[in-house]
Amino acid sequence: MTMLRKLLKNFDKKLYFNQLSLSTRLFCNQSNVPLTESKRPAIVLGIETSCDDTGCAIVNSTGTILGESLHSQLQFHNKCGGINPPIAQEFHRKHIEPVVTESLSRANLSVNDVDAIAVASRPGLTMSLVVGVRYAKHLARKYRKPLIPIHHMEAHALMARLENQSKLNFPFLCLLASGGHCLLAMVKSVNDFSLLGEATDGSPGECFDKAARVIGLTNLPEYSESSGGRAIELEAYKATNADRFVFPSPLNDGRNCQFSFSGLKSAAITTVQDLQKSAQIEPDQLIPHHEDFCAGFLKATTKHIMRKTQRAIQYCERKGFFGFGANTKPRSLVFSGGVGCNDFIFRALSEMASEFGYKTFRPPKRLCTDNGVMIAWNGIERWIDNDQVYRELDIDSVTPLDRQPFRTNLVEDVERKNIQCTWIKVPSMQSNRLVMT
């Protein structure tokens, strides 16, 4: 017993683990244990099926996209006037295996070569999410890989860090705007999001899509495969009188960061119907001065988004989220989600944010919309933090959810602060057109 105690006393754990054989370390890696000193970057395969796009990508921890593939249902759903969940699910079932296979082929890898599998599990269309989650579980079981469930909106928020790991650090303010969401959040870490405001009805992407349909843009061949927001933006740059049509600015009374888009959408429909009646044209024909209509509608939507984001910035300053004095941290605003592709809104936000000392980031345009890269990258960030990594029997606990709130809700606190703002003006459409050309 005395000899055993003496041996334990002289046992150097650090030396022992430093002298582990290479074969033992490789065995640990194959057993899905993250290695902080691995000789190669971590690799994650990500699967996205939260709405109407089937996406897959393989990304490593240096931010390199090794392979990716995406099947879009946009053109089909545009013709139907909106997303049909059962049909979207059938498209996902049909294309998920080919999309994953193509991503692996482009990366010249097999599932055996990846460290983990990440999958969008919430929030989204349940019928779409279930396809991706089931297939990801199948791969995780078959190849004995860890499974990382991903919050779709958090993945959008962190996407800008893929190409800006050294510039975009935590914390940062994030605006997520798409066809299904619009929200502002303070992002303190990979898994610490605080909600500052969200849409109480509709979304900017859905609002743009509706407006594009009612004015007849979706009937033009050049926009048959484009989102409504993209069509409206491009037509807006052709406007000769951007102030011809004036639309209401929603929720001006409440001093909060809540969004509302139903009023804008209703105003657009009413205006179009009046123009059609006065010009005696059919509903599927372009309205008179449609370019000016697009410019006015884009400016009104941008103004609403700008004001709510400005109040969020001033709230963050009052709360000291970026520190004070010598301990202050760089201030960053991330604009992501499908609407993040809009150059006019991005420029307007950038100019406004710069007035408060914020630098604005967004992912590459092609990665603003739903894609497998953002899921894989979020998987990388969680893999490094060993956050929500499920192994073996725990995989069964991963289920799709149509909704899941962020960890902290500060919506009421924002309103309680009663912050009065001197609004930064929306830039002129003419100046943005010159930039675009």
Global pTM value: 0.87
Q: Do the two domains 41-163+369-397 and 172-362+407-436 of this chain adopt the same fold?
A: yes
pLDDT at residue number 72? 84
Q: How far apart are CA 219 and CA 189, in angstroms?
A: 44
* Residue 3 C-alpha from the chain's centroid: 61
pLDDT at residue number 231? 96
**Across 141-167, average pLDDT:** 96
- Span 340-376, pLDDT tens digits: 999 999 999 999 999 999 999 999 999 999 999 999 9
Q: How far apart are CA 176 and CA 335, in angstroms?
A: 6
**What CATH class does 41-163+369-397 carry?**
alpha beta
May I ask the CATH architecture of the domain 172-362+407-436? 2-Layer Sandwich (3.30)
Residue 300 has pLDDT above 90, yes or no: yes
Instruction: Report residue 33 as tokens.
Output: 């244990």
Beta bridge partners of 217: none
Instruction: Report residue 411 as tokens.
Output: 């919506």
Higher pLDDT, 13 or 419: 419
Closest CA to 203 of 228, 220, 239, 221: 228
171 C-beta neighbours (distance < 10 Å), count: 19
Domains of the chain, residue spans: 41-163+369-397, 172-362+407-436
Closest CA to 192 of 397, 388, 417: 388
**Across 153-167, average pLDDT:** 95
